Amino acid sequence: MTRPSDEQLRAILVDMVEARAQAGRLWNLQRQGQIGTLAPIDGHEAVVAATAHALDPVSDWILPQYREPLALQRFGPEVLDQYMLYNIGHPDGSCLPPSVRVAPLQISLATQIPHAVGLAWGMTLRHQPGVTTVFFGDGSSSEGDFHEAANLAGVLQAPVILLCVNNQWAISTPLHQQTAAESLADRAAGYGIPGVRVDGNDAAAVFDAVDEARRLALDGGGPTLIEATVYRLGAHTTADDPTRYVPAEDLEAARTDDPVHRLAAHLGELGLWDDDTQAQIETTALARIDDAFKRAMAQPLATDAMFDHCFITDTPRMARQRAALLATGPHSHPSTPEVDQ
C-alpha cells in the first residue's frame, strides 16, 4: 500500500477545488439556457480526482459514466474543452485526441463496464502495459452489464478496476431499494475477484485503494471491484429536483463530511493550504472554463456533420440524404448566441 505524498494530495485537492468551482459555473450556464442537461459532480470530487492521480495517464484508461469529466484534468486539459463542447451539444464533444486515454461519456448505464473489460483484455493480448478503470454508480450495479462484465473480468483475469461510486441515490431511488446487499463490494466474491470498500470522501483512502488494485492488475492478479461510498451533494442532473426526495437532514449530515472541505482542512493543518490559495485556484478555474466555453461556442459546425463518422463513408442512401439536407440551406444552431448588429 502506497499512501499518497502530501504533494500528491495537494495536487488532488487542486483538481477537486477546480471541479467544484467549475461545476457551479456549469450549473449557472445551464440555468441561463446556454448549455444542455448535465450531471453535476458535487460530492464525487475526491473519488474521481484521487483515482486519476493513482493512475498513469500514459498507459492507463479511464472509462467514465457521465459525472466525472471536471475532475479528470490529470488525464489532459482537453477533457474540459471537450466537455464544454459536449454540453453545448457539439458533436466534437465526445472526441478526445489519441493521447488522452479517456473514453467518451456513457449515457446508457453500465454499458461501458464490458467495454472496459474488453479493452483491458485487448491491451493484454497486444502486450500493452496498463489498466483500465471504469466508473459507474450504485444504480448501475443492478444492471446486467455490471454482473456480466464483472464475471467475465474474473474469468479473463483482465487488468481492470471496476469503480462503483455509491452515492446512495439512483436519481430518486435510494440504495436500500436498489439492493438487499449490505455492501456492493461484497458482490466481488461471487465473481471470484477482490472487493474493496473505501470511504469515497477520503481522497487518500481512494488513492490507496486504486493504487493497490492497479498494482495487482499489472502483476497479472486480475480485476478488483472498488466500492467508494459518498453522498450525492447535488442534484442527479440539472433536470432533477432532489428536494422532493432527499431528506434535508441527511443532506445536511453529508455536508459535514464534504470531501473538498475535508482534504482542505487536512492540508491546512499541514500548512499546505489556506483560504487565499483556494480563492486563487477557484479564480483560475473559472477563467479556464469561461475560456473553454467561449472557444466551444466558436467551434465551427456544419449541419451535415450529423452524417460524419456514422460509417467511414456514407452509404449511397446517406449520400443522397446528406445532399438533400444541404440543399435545404443553412440551419441556425440553437445555442449559437445572437450576433450583435
Partner 1 sequence: MSSTSELTMLQAINEALHGEMARDERVIVLGEDVGHVGGVFRATEGLFEKFGEGRVVDMPLAEGAIVGSAVGLAMAGLVPVVEIQFLGFSYQAMHQIVGQIARLRYRSQGRFEPAITIRAPFGGGVRTPELHSDSLEGQLANVPGLKVVAPATAADAKGLLAASVRDPDPVVFLEPLRGYRGIRGEVPDDDYVVPLGSARTARNGHDLVIVAWSHQVEVACRVADCLVDEGLSIAVLDLRSLVPLDIEAIAAAVDRCGRAVVIEEAAQTGGFGGEVVATIVEECFWSLEAPVVRVSGYDVPYPVGMLEDAYVPDEARITAAIRRSLETA
Triad 8, 163, 106: Cα angle to 5°: 110
CA–CA distance, 285 with 144 (Å, rounded to integer): 38
Using CB under 8 A as the criterion, what x/- string covers residues 70-109 for binding partner 1? ---------------------xx-xxx-x----xx---x-
Beta bridge partners of 227: 164, 197
User: How many residues make contact with partner 1 (CB under 8 A)?
Assistant: 40
In terms of DSSP H, where are the helices of the chain? 6-31, 45-54, 78-88, 112-125, 144-156, 175-178, 188-191, 203-218, 248-255, 259-269, 275-298, 316-327
Q: Which of 44, 187, 236, 262 is catalytic?
A: 236
Using CB under 8 A as the criterion, what x/- string covers residues 301-330 for binding partner 1? -------xxxxx--xxx-------------
Q: Which of 245, 255, 295, 309 is catalytic?
A: 245
* 36 belongs to the binding site for partner 1 (CB under 8 A): no
Which of 148, 257, 290, 304 binds partner 1 (CB under 8 A)? It is: 148
* C-beta of 132 vs 278, nearer to partner 1: 132
245 is catalytic: yes
Cβ atoms 204, 239 nearer than 8 A: no
In the region spanning residues 153 to 182, those forming contacts with partner 1, defined by CB under 8 A, are: 155
Which of 70, 117, 193, 226 binds partner 1 (CB under 8 A)? It is: 117
> Does residue 269 sit in helix, strand or coil?
helix
CA–CA distance, 242 with 232 (Å, rounded to integer): 10
Alpha-carbon distances of 137 from 82, 126, 338, rounded to whole Å: 22, 30, 39
* C-beta of 123 vs 206, nearer to partner 1: 123
CA–CA distance, 305 with 328 (Å, rounded to integer): 14
126 is catalytic: no
236 is catalytic: yes
Choices 114-122, 195-203, 228-236, 284-292; region in contact with partner 1 by CB under 8 A: 114-122
The contact set with partner 1 (CB under 8 A) reads: 91-92, 94-96, 98, 103-104, 108, 111, 113-123, 125-126, 128, 132, 144-145, 148-149, 151-152, 155, 308-312, 315-317
